[in-house]
Structure 1
Amino acid sequence: MVRPVRSGAVRFVSYRPSPAVHGALALRPAAGPAPQGPGLRLVRPAAGEDAEVQAVAEAAGRLAVEVLAGTRPPHQLSLVAVPAVCREIAAQLGPGTRRGRIVPPKVLSTRSQRPAPDVAEAVALVVVAGRVHALALRLEHARGRWRCTALETTAP
């Protein structure tokens, strides 16, 4: 059984594009040979589980980005997240996070994968205040439901 992340469950990443890139994705190949490890293995879920994980990932991503944008109160995130994630996001937002007129955020796409039977990782591209940001979620299955145990985002 995988244990949920207890501390540092939420990470806000400040994204600053490199000035040398000029709007293009710059990839630099790694120097030397690729590192050799134990390798990855594909864990195939049972029928219907992919759809369930994808639905939970989309709902969790949408709720998280709406809380971060200020269109939802932070306590509503508890529907899909463990208490540590809810506490850290509420602490980051602080009191009085609602501003005047707020443009609702939009989830552009969501992808998920299953690195282990009771663990799913999802990424989402979201638009917050007219800018595209990334959102990464770790979902763990415990007590019959999927819950977000870690969140990382470039959204403000």
Structure 2
Amino acid sequence: MSPPRRQASLPRIAPSPTAEPPYDDDRPAGDTPAMPPYVQGTLALALDPGKPGPSAGKPLVWGPPGAVPDERRLRALAQAVAEILSGRRPPASVSCHLTGRVQAELVRSGKIIDSARPPRAGRAHVSQPEDGVVEMCAVVDCGDRSRVLALRLERRGVRWLCTEFETSP
């Protein structure tokens, strides 16, 4: 006679930590780590532009005219552009957020940022010089040195598209 079977327990769902570091105003007082850990793949986008990824086609913001894009999405866009400029991401991966001219400029510029480790965009500093226009800059940590990345976005319908970018040499 075989021994009685023990009933198997069901798997449980455990919460995962957030992939983005908190903003300065999200942290409790006295909790200031030197540098949040680098998490590989936090901004993974579809490498094949023909296949829609999870965020493909989504605008940076939905809302009334004049609404400023979400700061976390702006930071993610700056991170993606920094990775493109370092040669670690194909320009087609963010083509839905760029005008044709800016995408061609990214392709033509090639690898501007030369660093041993992946670049990391800091907090986005956003200004709105006029309705339908957002200008932002972020410091990009490249390991041994830092660079500045500036982006200009204009609202086209319900979408925000990057119309200009500039970085320090």
Structure 1 counterpart of 2:118, one-letter code: P
Q: Using the alignment, how far apart are the partners of 2:96 and 2:116 within structure 1?
A: 23
Q: TM-score scaled by structure 1?
A: 0.58
The separation in 2 between residues aligned to 1:56 and 1:82, in whole angstroms, is: 17
Q: Secondary structure at the match of 1:103?
A: coil
Q: Deviations over 1:80-101 (max 9, x none)?
A: 211111101101217xx9x9x9
Which protein, 1 or 2, shows the higher relative CO under an 8 Å CA cutoff with sep ≥ 6?
1
> Counterparts of 1:77 and 1:130 in 2: how far apart (Å)?
27
- The one-letter code of the counterpart of 1:122 is M
| Cα-to-partner distance string for 1:54-88 (whole Å, 9 max, x where unaligned) | 23421221111010011111211313211111101
Cα RMSD after superposing both structures: 2.7
- 1:49 has 2:63 as partner: no
Q: TM-score, normalised by structure 2?
A: 0.54
2:123–2:138 CA contact under 8 A, matched in 1 = yes
CA distance in 2, matches of 1:102, 1:77: 23
Cα distance in 1 for residues equivalent to 2:103 and 2:109:
10
> SS at 2:129's partner residue?
strand
| SS across alignment from 2:123 | strand
> Distance between the aligned counterparts of 2:119 and 2:91, measured in 1?
15
- What number of residue pairs does the alignment pair up? 105
Matched, 1:93 2:107: no
Within 1, Cα distance between the matches of 2:148 and 2:76?
15
Aligned match for 2:161, one of 127, 147, 151? 147
Comparing both structures, which one devotes a greater share of its residues to strand?
A: 1
Identity rate of aligned residues, in percent? 30
Alignment of 1:121 with 2:135, yes or no, is yes
Instruction: Please give the alpha-carbon distance, in whole angstroms, between the structure 1 residues aligned to 2:117 and 2:81.
Output: 15
Aligned position for 1:22: none
Quick one: distance in 1 between partners of 2:109 and 2:89? 15
Please list the CA deviations of residues 79-136 of structure 1 after superposition, one character each: whole Å capped at 9, or x if unmatched: 3211111101101217xx9x9x951111122110111120000010001243100011
SS of 2:122's partner is strand
Consecutive unaligned residues in structure 2, runs of 5 or more:
1-63
Match of 2:122 in 1: 108
Residues 91, 109 of structure 1: alpha-carbon distance in 2 compared, 3 angstrom cutoff: same
Query: Retained in 2: the 8 A contact 1:60–1:148?
Result: no
Tell me which stretches of 4 or more aligned residues in structure 1 moved more than 6 Å: none
| Cα distance per residue 1:130-154 (max 9 Å; x no partner) | 3100011100010211111000101
* Distance in 2 of aligned mates of 1:108 and 1:80: 19
Describe the SS at the equivalent of 1:136.
strand
